[in-house]
Chains A and B, each alone.
Chain A
């Protein structure tokens, strides 16, 4: 069965370190998204991609970067982790069929920045 996975599931890091969160999907979807989930803010879009070598900034992209070298993976990098980036991160993917395309979510990564 097709799925979307994230690793690690939990991560503790220190301020200033570079951190990369992995996202892998086997749906063969063109569209991939990264969100962060915080109490009182819901889900906010960090970065997204419509295909290989395509990346775009979302509403809270500062301090984050992504790259898309193949269809299956969209790793999220925190260049220099800050305590404000402590959050739960969700990756999602969707097809490009048109109206009503569902986004399928990964299980999430809980990141704590000390």
Chain B
């Protein structure tokens, strides 16, 4: 069965500090991992996906198959990064399994 775990419901950091949002997954096949972001009262939008190996808004995430993790990192957090972040796992059937989300607050 597919499962995504985001151990932190809430994460609070100061502006300029590094931030890491944790994501662990359970999947028997070859995983597709995504990070989605939801700013206050807005729709979810894709932040990045592991297959693209890209950096969006200064965020990066590396798939670690040995640790079954896909942690999201940013070296210097900005206030506009405050949002709900969801890690999601996709399989071969186009469905996504979402974690429960981490609410990131970046304090001035």
Contact = CB atoms under 8 A, between A and B. Distances in A.
Interface of A: 31, 33, 35, 40-45, 48, 50, 58, 90, 92, 94, 96, 99-108
Given A40-B100, A42-B99, A105 B90 contact: no
A44 to B, nearest CB: 8
Contacts of A45: 95-97
A75 to B, nearest CB: 18
Interface of B: 6, 9, 32, 34, 36, 42-46, 49-52, 86, 90, 94-101
A31 B94 contact: yes
Contacts, number: 53
Given A42-B98, A102-B49, 10 more contacts: A31-B94, A33-B95, A42-B100, A43-B98, A43-B101, A96-B94, A101-B90, A102-B34, A105-B45, A106-B43
Nearest to A31: B94
Given A40-B100, A96-B94, A100-B32, A105 B43 contact: yes
Scoring B44, B51, B97, B101 by chain A CB atoms within 10 A of each residue's CB, the highest score goes to B44
A50 to B, nearest CB: 7
9 closest residue pairs by CB, A with B: A42-B100, A100-B51, A43-B98, A105-B44, A105-B43, A42-B98, A107-B43, A31-B94, A42-B101
> Which of the listed residues B34, B90, B94, B98 has the most CB atoms from chain A within 10 Å of its own CB?
B94
